[in-house]
Amino acid sequence: MAWSEIINSYLNTRNKVKQINGEWVDMVKPVETQHARSGNRVTITPESETIVFNKWGKKIIIDSILFFTNTHVFPRLEISENNSVVYGTQIFHGITMEGVRTGLSPANLNFVKNDFFEVVNADVEEGKYMVNLKKQIVLPEGGTLSFKGMSSALEDGGIITYKVYWREIEEG
């Protein structure tokens, strides 16, 4: 008998969990990684989209989004990989008092209520805004976070400076 052999078959040092079928299996600890991405004075045009992350098949927790812009740009968070409807699964949008859905550009945040963002500093005359995420966001299946120019309001382009912190969790 080798020393590595367990003499008592009931002795096991691993943590176990009981599955619904009654079988005991090793408990797997999820692997969590932290990520940060920032952009400094990124040019925004009506056709451009700046992708911060595009991650699917793992749990993502967005801890912080802070951005500055001098133009009509809005954040987009897509929670379905195969979406063909404009506001179908893009959760960063608001509703106006006229009942119209709209992107959450900083200028819109002053009159469109939403659950996610707040303007923390603004020079309305100059069209400069600093926007902050109000609460943590959990994406069980992943998602795509990006910033996009509003083609209907964006004329000459502008800039965006952003920083985003998020965690990715793989359930082993």
Residue found under tokens 């940060």: 36
Res. 18: pLDDT tops 90: no
Report yes or no on 38 lying in a domain: yes
Q: What is the pLDDT of residue 101?
A: 82
Report yes or no on 98 lying in a domain: yes
pLDDT tier at 3 (50, 70, 90 boundaries)?
A: low
Report yes or no on 4 lying in a domain: no
21-38 pLDDT, tens per residue?
988 888 888 899 999 999
How much of the chain, in percent, has pLDDT values that exceed 70? 85
Torsion, Cα of 81, 85, 91, 96 (10° steps):
170
Report yes or no on 129 lying in a domain: yes
Q: What is the pLDDT of residue 22?
A: 85
Res. 84: pLDDT tops 70: no
What is the rounded distance in angstroms from the CA atom of residue 103 to the CA atom of residue 147?
11
Report yes or no on 21 lying in a domain: no
Residue found under tokens 């079928």: 21
Residue found under tokens 């020393």: 3
Res. 41: pLDDT tops 90: yes
The mean per-residue pLDDT over the stretch 111-118 comes to: 85
Tell me the CA distances in angstroms from 117 to 25, 59, 142, one per residue in order: 43, 22, 20
Amino acid type, 119: V
CATH number at residue 90: 2.60.120.1390
Q: What is the pLDDT of residue 107?
A: 83
Report yes or no on 13 lying in a domain: no
Q: What is the pLDDT of residue 48?
A: 82
Report yes or no on 95 lying in a domain: yes
More confident residue, 153 or 103: 103
More confident residue, 40 or 80: 40
Q: What is the pLDDT of residue 17?
A: 80
Whether pTM exceeds 0.95:
no
Structural domain boundaries, residue 121: 30-170
Tell me the CA distances in angstroms from 104 to 4, 90, 92, 131, 139, one per residue in order: 61, 11, 6, 10, 19
121-165 pLDDT, tens per residue?
989 888 899 999 999 999 999 999 999 887 665 566 789 999 999
Report yes or no on 14 lying in a domain: no
Amino acid type, 4: S
Res. 120: pLDDT tops 60: yes
Q: How many domains does the chain have?
A: 1
More confident residue, 157 or 104: 104
- In the chain, DSSP assigns E strands to 16-18, 24-26, 31-44, 49-56, 59-69, 73-78, 93-95, 101-103, 117-123, 128-133, 137-139, 142-149, 158-170
